[in-house]
Amino acid sequence: MTYLSRADLLVVGRIATLAGEAGLGWVEALAVGEGRVLAAGPLAEVGVLVTRGTRWLRIPDGHVVAPAVTDAHIHFLEAAVTADEIDLEGTTTMEEALAIVARAHEARVRAGDRAGWLFGHGWLADRWGRLPAAGALEAVAPGRPIALWAHDHHARWMSPAALAACGIDAGTPDPPGGMVGRDADGQPSGVLFEHATRIGVEAVPRPTSERLAEAVVRHADRLAALGIAGVHDPGATAPDPTLEGGLLVYRRLAAAGRLLLRVHAGVRDEQLETAVAAGLHSGEGVAPADPGDPQARLSAARFRVGWLKLFGDGSVGSRTAAMLEPYAADPGGRAFPAGPRGRLLESRERMIERVTAAAEAGIATMIHAIGDGAVRTTLDAFAAVTAERLADLPYRPRIEHAQLIHPDDVGRFGRLGVVASLQPVQLRSDETIMRRAWGDRTRHAFALASLEATGGLLAFGTDAPVEPADPWPGIAMAVTRQAAEWGDGVPPSTPEESITLDRALRAATSGPWRAARDELGGRLVAGSPADLVVLDAAVIDEPVRPGGALALARPRLTLLDGEERYREAGFDA
Ligand SMILES: [Zn+2]
């Protein structure tokens, strides 16, 4: 405790600090000064930092304080923009989806727009029992270019006008790492898989950087209400070599004093050369436009350059995840667009080359790998880059999703120091899909307990907009391995892989900070940023169960840098 510090704020109540390696680390009081925790402990000790100017925050009975969440994998810019687009999540048939598209089209026509682009997301071939087709969109919205991401953003359903605008016809070859879905007669069917979604994408209009900046500001408020103080954004789905549609949007907001959320902004594969030429490296921040303004200083400090993002494979829903053994036969007789074992989107050699090139510039790498084949190749690639080179980087190497890990590979995460960045909420929607695609191998999916037991560092995220940005159902899912949405009588998915509540909370709070080699963030100990939430005590006290208080948690209050970002109407503290 520094005797010169003075508390701006004193929090008194039941406070879970998540200090140390295990448990919840309960304390009674927390002193905050200049946005950081000065001391945590008994009120009698922490109280010596109180002066006449100190504000008191007395947490009412029935509530607890915990560190705020960092989402380690969220396409935040994309989530912010798609919040205003066509939403096909939850549709059970293509007809239902087409009715939604038809309504959006008619509304545009009434507004005088007959041929502008329509965008959307959320269709799921596994739920519909078939893949959609371009002609169906033409029937409900003649002549309009329409592009609709699948639920997992690994395939895009295009109308004939959208295919034509992108220059895709029967003569278009499959690009490396991508597949153009085709009819029996070789015509494009209207579904593009993986990197084929990038063909002619220059013709697809993009939001301006002003619109993106406004979307970030609006969406940051929604996340604060969910208890989220920070995000790691691996980048948007649409390629953009300029950094204009991503990293620079955040950096400008931060410098201007308008970033009300911590952001680690990713560098996409095709942006690496631009980023290196600009001298960017992982962990780099930005200077405030007005250094004399304390708010501007806090805002600037919330921005960091994050990780290079590479794609190792596709997804299980699209059957494009790269597998060690073939997929189970599809009951619908559907062909596998990337072959019976899926397909790697990057060779091991190219992964090594890119990870090394990034490391030379001080940029750490995250690699998307969902199937056990892609996970193994990705671990091989990290292992081939020298340990010293990875250890010298400001941030740790990481694998995104790691949905299915072969049991022989689980221990390699801990040994190699590779972060396991998982989204346990995906178990909720993917359990059925995984059973169909992987059969009995599904018992090794989301191997949370095995990763922890072998020294692997877990960092949780939601992958929004693929899943909703609400972090709490995923935290609960890591404990229960079972969702209320599954209905009664459906057993948990491999209960041996469940982890305890305090471990699940850590994976959602301190885990992402530790991925960035920061041992203070995501906890409430001396030196931590004062990012915290006030929750109903039942969230922590009630035994965790599907549909219980943890899965349904909503903060009453969220603080970022010790300042109020969200307060539920009527909450009095
Ligand atoms: Zn993602």
Q: What is the pLDDT of residues 247-299, one digit of tens each?
A: 999 999 999 999 999 999 999 999 999 999 999 999 999 999 999 998 899 99
- Angle of CA points 555, 570, 535, to nearest 5°: 20
Q: How far is the CA of 546 from the centre of ligand 1 (A)?
A: 25
The predicted-structure confidence for 116-153, as pLDDT tens digits, reads as follows 999 999 999 888 988 999 999 999 999 999 999 998 88
Q: Say what the pTM is.
A: 0.88
- 2 pLDDT band, cuts 50/70/90, is very low
The whole-number pLDDT of residue 489 equals 86
Contact 148, 119 (CB under 8 A): yes
Element (H, E) at 53: none
List the Cα angle 413/226/466 in 5-degree steps: 55
**What confidence category does residue 79 fall into, taking pLDDT thresholds of 50, 70 and 90?**
confident
- E strand or H helix that includes residue 167: none
Question: Which token pair is 69?
Answer: 């969440």
Average pLDDT of the chain? Answer: 94
Confidence of residue 387 (pLDDT cuts 50, 70, 90): confident
- Alpha carbon of 500 to ligand 1 centroid (Å): 25
466 Cα–ligand 1 center, Å: 7
Report the separation in Å between the CA atom of 413 and the middle of ligand 1, taken as the mean of its atom positions. Answer: 20
Distance between Cα 398 and ligand 1 center (Å): 13
Q: How far is the CA of 365 from the centre of ligand 1 (A)?
A: 14
pLDDT value of position 545? 96
Quick one: which of 463, 465, 482, 537 has its CA closest to 87?
Answer: 465
- Cα of 536 from ligand 1 centre, angstroms: 30
- Sequence-distant (6+) residues with CB within 8 A of 543 are none
Residues 25-53, mean pLDDT to the nearest whole number: 96
Q: Show the beta-strand stretches assigned E in 151-287.
A: 155-158, 178-182, 188-194, 228-233, 262-268
CB 412 within 8 A of CB 387: no
pLDDT band at 333 (very low <50, low <70, confident <90, very high): low
How far, CA to CA in Å, does 446 sit from each of 49, 283, 319, 338, 426?
Answer: 44, 29, 17, 23, 9
Question: For residue 126, what are its two tokens?
Answer: 């596994």
CA of 145 to the centre of ligand 1 (A): 25
What is the 74 CA–ligand 1 centroid distance (Å)? 6
Whether 1 shows a pLDDT value over 50: the answer reads: no
Residue 424 pLDDT exceeds 60 = yes
Q: Is the dihedral of CA 180, 184, 190, 193 positive or negative?
A: negative
CB count, 10 Å around CB of 52? 5
Residue 464 in this model has a pLDDT that exceeds 50:
yes
pLDDT, position 242: 84
Q: How many CB atoms lie within 10 A of CB 197?
A: 27
List the one residue out of 67, 72, 70 whose CA is nearest residue 540.
67
Q: Say whether 19 sits in a helix, a strand or coil.
A: coil
Length of the chain in terms of residues written: 573
Mean pLDDT of 350-373: 97
Instruction: Answer whether the bond into residue 142 is a cis peptide, omega within 30°.
Output: no
Q: Cβ atoms within 10 A of the Cβ of 423, count?
A: 28
Q: How far is the CA of 34 from the centre of ligand 1 (A)?
A: 34
Q: What pLDDT, on the 0 to 100 scale, is given for residue 437? A: 93
Q: How far is the CA of 235 from the centre of ligand 1 (A)?
A: 8
Res. 18: pLDDT tops 50: yes
Residues 6+ apart with CB under 8 A from 305: 247, 264, 265, 267, 275, 280, 281, 282, 283, 284, 285, 363
Show the domains of the chain with their CATH numbers.
83-203 (3.10.310.70), 209-304 (no CATH), 309-517 (3.20.20.140)
